[in-house]
Amino acid sequence: MTMKTASVFPKNKISFSRQGSRTFAKMSYPVHTGTYSEVETDNHIFHFNLNQEIIRARSKKRSWHHPHEWLKRTMGDDWIYYSTGGYTGVFEATGEYYLPNFNYSSNSILGGTPFRSPEIHELTTDWFHILESCRENNLKDTESTNFYNNILRNTPLYLKEKATAFHNIIDGHISVLPPDARHVEYHLIPIMISRGCLYKCRFCKVKNALPFKELNHLQIDKQIEQMKYLYAADLANYNSIYLGEHDALMTGHKTILHAINKAYNTLDLYTSYLDGLNCFFFGSATSLLEAPAELFKELQLLPGKVYINIGLESPDQSTLDQLGKPISTAQVRDSFKRIQDLNNTYSTIEISANFIMGASLPPAHYQEVEKLIRDTQTHQQAKGSIYFSPLTFDKPSRARLFEFNRLKIMSRFPTYLYIIQRL
């Protein structure tokens, strides 16, 4: 890691152009990716992206929960608190060393309520005033003065308006991102290539009322151009896209390939500071079974990796009926088989599957899940993650965690909890 330190004062140090990691490393200490600037005061550390917008913050005070824990601000202007969870079981449960905590409703069964902590709340609400007072102590050279003027131009109101502009481009919030996006810390550029989903399952809390609809190439290209303008200089810090919405795999395969190529080229992701390229999207049992073989052959020819996440929920019919998911167990089993075939055939494509877990589900659900994730394989698999999504929101639960651990131990696939994160 190299950096240029422009000015050092007892209470206020600015580091311009810090060059962080080029990969999203899974480490038990914070590894920040990309190029960013840093302001360090006696009490706080702040990070800014290449548009001089705040992206991370932490306190250095003794009252801060842990020196490795951070607040991160997303493009949707949400603050997320990354906690260590005491390093007990977080990695095993999520595949990551840090547990994201949200200040909105999610299905996580881990973690606490960090946003109720005065220290964390204060930093998310007062960061701008803290930086304003930093400027008063730091008008000592032109470079520092310009830097402060730039970051303070990006006020909380400006950032809120920018998040609104961001959501306007994609026609609203993304209610859930694919769980595999954890591999890039959910740091991606969303492009809608379709809206809505096929099934409108009764249990689902992230759906919208829109029937499935494919967007045309002009609508997709316009979003990509608008995203290029909005992300601006900070595009250099991105190497991943998300194709929305809930069932992008249902979109015609020419449109999927068009969107990926157009986004990679227009957004200059080939020249990103970060290594590699990644594309994430969702599919369903129907879209997976109907997807033509050419799609996967052509996806394999693209640079980088493609992650597709399929919501199967249950291989038990009584459970599917209880969930109000209008598919059959035959579709679930056939999908699971095709997932394994595709994962075994294409090295740069990884297809993962989601199943539901919850106290109210019939015992047959777990018996049938076990048959799929244990008995269909003779060896431990390296890819094709299985995610278990708790049915209930906002209820940390030891019983659910115990249940998850039992499933994880007997699974022959990498198996994790699915934490619902929006953008």
Task: State yes or no: residue 389 binds ligand SF4 (CB under 6 A).
Answer: no
Task: State yes or no: residue 200 binds ligand SF4 (CB under 6 A).
Answer: yes
User: Of the ranges 80-88, 95-103, 192-200, 358-366, which one interacts with ligand SF4 (CB under 6 A)?
Assistant: 192-200
How far is Cα 308 from Cα 55, in angstroms, rounded to an integer?
27
Binding ligand SF4 by CB under 6 A: which of 80, 110, 123, 201? 201
* Smallest separation (angstroms) from ligand SF4 to the CB of 199: 4
* Smallest separation (angstroms) from ligand SF4 to the CB of 196: 8
Task: State yes or no: residue 319 binds ligand SF4 (CB under 6 A).
Answer: no
Task: State yes or no: residue 195 binds ligand SF4 (CB under 6 A).
Answer: no
Residues 337-366 that bind ligand SF4 (CB under 6 A): none
Binding ligand SF4 by CB under 6 A: which of 14, 193, 197, 310? 197
Nearest to 339 by CA among 294, 385, 387, 298: 385
Q: Which is nearer to ligand SF4, 256 or 312 (CB)?
A: 312
User: Of the ranges 195-203, 258-266, 329-337, 400-408, which one interacts with ligand SF4 (CB under 6 A)?
Assistant: 195-203
Q: Which is nearer to ligand SF4, 85 or 311 (CB)?
A: 311
Task: State yes or no: residue 304 binds ligand SF4 (CB under 6 A).
Answer: no
Binding ligand SF4 by CB under 6 A: which of 73, 183, 246, 305? 246
Q: Which is nearer to ligand SF4, 185 or 245 (CB)?
A: 245
Question: Which sign does the torsion angle of CA 269, 270, 272, 278 carry?
Answer: positive
* Residues near ligand SF4 (CB under 6 A), total: 11
Write the burial class of residue 56 (CB in 10 Å: 0-12 exposed, 13-18 middle, 19+ buried). Answer: buried
Length of the chain: 423
Q: Which is nearer to ligand SF4, 201 or 248 (CB)?
A: 201
Write the burial class of residue 350 (CB in 10 Å: 0-12 exposed, 13-18 middle, 19+ buried). Answer: buried
* Smallest separation (angstroms) from ligand SF4 to the CB of 172: 14
Residue reference for tokens 């946003």? 115
Task: State yes or no: residue 204 binds ligand SF4 (CB under 6 A).
Answer: yes
Task: State yes or no: residue 384 binds ligand SF4 (CB under 6 A).
Answer: no
Reduce the secondary structure of the chain to three states and give it as a string: CCCEEEEEECCEEEEEEEECECCCCCCCCCCCECEEEEEEECCEEEEECCCCCEEEEEECCCCCCCCCCEEEECCCCCEEEEECHHHCCHHHHHCCCCEEEECCCCCCCCCCCHHHCHHHHHHHHHHHHHHHHHHHCCCCCHHHHHHHHHHHHCCHHHHHHHHHHHHHHCCCCCCCCCHHHHHHCCCCEEEECEECECCCCCCCCCCCCCECEECCHHHHHHHHHHHHHHHHHHHHHCCEEEEECCCHHHCCHHHHHHHHHHHHHHCCHHHCCCCCCEEEEEECHHHHHHCCHHHHHHHHHCCCEEEEEEEEECCCHHHHHHHCCCCCHHHHHHHHHHHHHHHHHCCCEEEEEEEEECCCCCHHHHHHHHHHHHHCCCCCCCCCCEEEEECCCCCCCHHHHHHHHHHHHHCCCCEEECCCCCC
* Smallest separation (angstroms) from ligand SF4 to the CB of 390: 14
Binding ligand SF4 by CB under 6 A: which of 82, 199, 231, 416? 199
* Smallest separation (angstroms) from ligand SF4 to the CB of 414: 22
Binding ligand SF4 by CB under 6 A: which of 20, 190, 311, 390? 311
User: Of the ranges 99-107, 139-147, 194-202, 262-270, which one interacts with ligand SF4 (CB under 6 A)?
Assistant: 194-202
User: Of the ranges 109-117, 197-205, 286-294, 360-368, which one interacts with ligand SF4 (CB under 6 A)?
Assistant: 197-205
Q: Which is nearer to ligand SF4, 83 or 287 (CB)?
A: 287
* Smallest separation (angstroms) from ligand SF4 to the CB of 242: 14
* Smallest separation (angstroms) from ligand SF4 to the CB of 282: 7
Task: State yes or no: residue 207 binds ligand SF4 (CB under 6 A).
Answer: yes
Binding footprint of ligand SF4 on the chain (CB under 6 A): 197-201, 204, 206-207, 246, 284, 311
